[in-house]
């Protein structure tokens, strides 16, 4: 598998999270909502993603599916399914009950299932690879303390963005191996234009996205999303995301994302 494709696929989970949980804070009923996105690499449609969301005032449930397409799909056949079910506590913070991250590469599937207690605190993790139990014997409790899954973290960050009318906020995340802080820095507003890639035109909040490693199995040399992030830093631009209200709804959702890498610029666009 080419190295740059590995970077794209390893990092796509974070892109998916940015799509998924920015929506759920603003749904006013339990009606199912579906949003479509495409990720382009060098002008080529590399990944398709679809989000299904259901929510009430007290609970939420969402599923994000992503799959490589076209030429990329042929040489790097990958697909992911990410699911979180949870609730809102008295402080209106999203807390997970169950989070599942499933990734399939050339027919081999890895499934991580995170379990939380009735207050949204991490309890346990199970991992199944190629049908075999690969659950670690123990997990450092310090890594999981006061943390949530990536999707719930995104929901809380986006809630803060709406309340402050700017894209900002941070949260501690535990992904099963690593702990990190996801941080959003506001960069003001920008007017976007509709194009053959994007369905959205209009005003949007712009912000910079950065993760800070905070313990766990981080490699001495950056890999995956962290490698993408540092490649962008070297080129003078960390990953960027634009948030906007779409159509007649009051939902604030990602409408565009830009990630600079050593192999070119990746764009994510809302297409439906």
Phi first, then psi: what are they for 9, rounded to 5°? -70, -40
Percent of the chain topping pLDDT 70: 84
Of residues 221 and 199, more confidence is placed in 199
Query: Is-contact 82 56, C-beta < 8 A?
Result: no
Tokens of 224: 């995956």
Q: Using one digit for the tens of pLDDT, what is the confidence trace for 147-160?
A: 888 878 777 766 66
Q: How far apart are CA 247 and CA 4, in angstroms?
A: 35
11 confidence band (pLDDT: 50, 70, 90): low
- Phi and psi at 72, nearest 5°, equal -60, -40
Q: For residue 31, what pLDDT is reported? A: 62
DSSP label of 177: S
Q: Does residue 134 have a pLDDT over 90?
A: yes
In the predicted model, what is the mean pLDDT of residues 213-222?
84
pTM: 0.82
Asked if residues 36 and 272 have their Cβ atoms less than 8 Å apart, the reply is: yes
Q: Is the pLDDT of residue 109 over 90?
A: yes
Summarize pLDDT for 29-76 with one digit per residue, the tens: 446 778 889 988 888 888 898 877 777 888 888 888 889 888 888 888
- Section 128-142 average pLDDT: 90
Q: What is the pLDDT of residue 22?
A: 44
DSSP at 148? B
- For residue 159 the two structure tokens come to 């809630």
Q: Report how far residue 186's alpha carbon sits from residue 167's, in angstroms, rounded to the nearest whole number.
A: 5
Q: How far apart are CA 49 and CA 18, in angstroms?
A: 12
């Amino acid at each position: 598998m080419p190295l740059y494709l590995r970077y794209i696929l390893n990092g796509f989970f974070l892109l998916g999270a940015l799509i998924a949980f920015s929506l759920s804070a603003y749904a006013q009923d339990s009606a199912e909502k579906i949003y479509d996105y495409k990720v382009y690499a060098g002008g080529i449609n590399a990944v398709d993603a679809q989000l299904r969301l259901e929510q009430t005032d007290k609970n939420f449930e969402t599923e994000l599916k992503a799959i490589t397409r076209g030429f990329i799909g042929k040489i790097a056949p990958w697909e992911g399914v990410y699911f979180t079910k949870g609730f809102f506590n008295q402080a209106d913070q999203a807390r997970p009950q169950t989070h599942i991250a499933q990734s399939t590469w050339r027919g081999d599937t890895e499934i991580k299932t995170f379990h939380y207690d009735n207050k949204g605190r991490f309890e346990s993790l199970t991992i199944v690879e190629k049908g075999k139990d690969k659950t670690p014997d123990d997990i450092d409790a310090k890594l999981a303390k006061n943390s949530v899954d990536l999707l719930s973290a995104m929901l809380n960050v986006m809630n803060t963005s709406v309340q402050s009318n700017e894209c900002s906020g941070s949260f501690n995340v535990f992904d099963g191996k690593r702990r990190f802080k996801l941080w959003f820095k506001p960069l003001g507003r920008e007017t976007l234009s509709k194009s053959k890639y994007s369905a959205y035109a209009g005003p949007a909040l712009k912000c910079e996205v950065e993760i800070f490693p905070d313990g766990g199995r981080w490699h001495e040399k950056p890999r995956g999303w962290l490698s993408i992030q540092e490649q962008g830093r070297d080129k003078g631009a960390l990953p960027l995301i634009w948030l906007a209200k779409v159509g007649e709804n009051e939902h604030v959702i990602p409408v565009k994302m830009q990630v600079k890498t050593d192999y070119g610029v990746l764009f994510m666009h809302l297409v439906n």
